[in-house]
Amino acid sequence: MSDRILVVAAHPDDEALGMGGTIARLAGEGAEVMVAFMTCGAYSEAEMVWRPDSTLTGAGPAPAPWAGPCKLGATATRWSGILADNALDGGLRLHLAQKVERWIGEWAPAAVYTHSPADCNIDHRLTFEAVLAATRPTPGCLIKALYSFEVPSATEWAFGTFGNFGGNLFVMLPPAALAAKLKALECYGDQMKPTPHPRSEAGVRVLAAWRGAMVGVEAAEAFELVRWVR
């Protein structure tokens, strides 16, 4: 597996909900992970750049917009804050794909992770389409693997309208990786809901346990393999 990974998420918190444990595990194994957000969330109206340093990753707190990726061990975060939440359909599809192409050109990842197209959130679906367009396997393309992830309270709530997220690749989460995921989700405040909401701590734990049980481990995150070149 390459040491360079790109995660493209529609909103802040999607990266933690969808694959926070996997980011933490990959980072712990030495991978360099960039997390890139397509929308501004509630934090910014302009593109910003953050790289963790000893202050942010040590005892001092990270600034709120970057706290989630920081707690997961991300090497770098990119924030394209031109469009607001649930507004990606207001932009040109080409413009969205070009944003992803810029991040790919900067980071040169061998693997890219993004949303599932089988999702009730339009920003999630459009992010997938932008990533799919930006990662076209043209001659010389460095990207060898493309994966999609599920987001609780978004993917399952499509109820098959846009297809079904099956999960055909699973990443086992050691206890430390699951703990890092939950810590990252604490950074997103009111985005987390009380039980029995799927985006509650209990819901996140249950999903991790269920995905783990599907493949005979204590906890896991599920992905769909879109494309893999070996």
Four-point Cα dihedral 97, 100, 105, 107, nearest 10: -170
219 with 211: CB under 8 angstroms? yes
Beta bridge partners of 97: none
Closest CA to 226 of 101, 136, 152: 136
Q: How many CA atoms lie within 13 A of 118 on its CB side?
A: 15
Specify the DSSP class assigned to residue 33. Answer: E
Domain locations in the chain as residue ranges: 4-228
* Sign of the alpha-carbon dihedral angle for 42, 44, 47, 51: negative
pTM for the whole structure: 0.89
Among 7-16, 89-98, 125-134, 172-181, whose mean pLDDT is lowest?
A: 89-98
8 Å CB contact between 131 and 112: yes
Q: What is the mean pLDDT of residues 34-56?
A: 56
Q: Look at residues 134, 141, 177, 148 and name the one whose alpha carbon lies nearest to residue 28.
A: 177
Asked whether the CA dihedral 48, 50, 55, 61 is positive or negative, the reply is positive
| Segment 22-47 mean pLDDT | 81
Domain 4-228 has CATH 3.10.105.10: no
Nearby residues of 40 by Cβ (< 8 Å), 6 or more positions away:
79, 80, 81, 82, 83, 84, 85
- Integer angstrom CA distances of residue 15 from 21, 24, 28, 222: 10, 11, 16, 13
pLDDT for 61 beyond 80: no
The structure tokens listed for 81 are 């804050």
What pLDDT does residue 65 have? 53
Taking residues 119-136, report their average pLDDT: 95
Give the chain's end-to-end CA distance (angstroms, integer): 10
- Split at pLDDT 50, 70, 90, the class of 81 is low
For tokens 């699951």, the residue is 178
Residue 159's φ and ψ, nearest 5 degrees, are 50, 40
H/E run at residue 161: none
In this predicted structure, the answer to whether residue 199 has a pLDDT above a threshold of 60 is yes
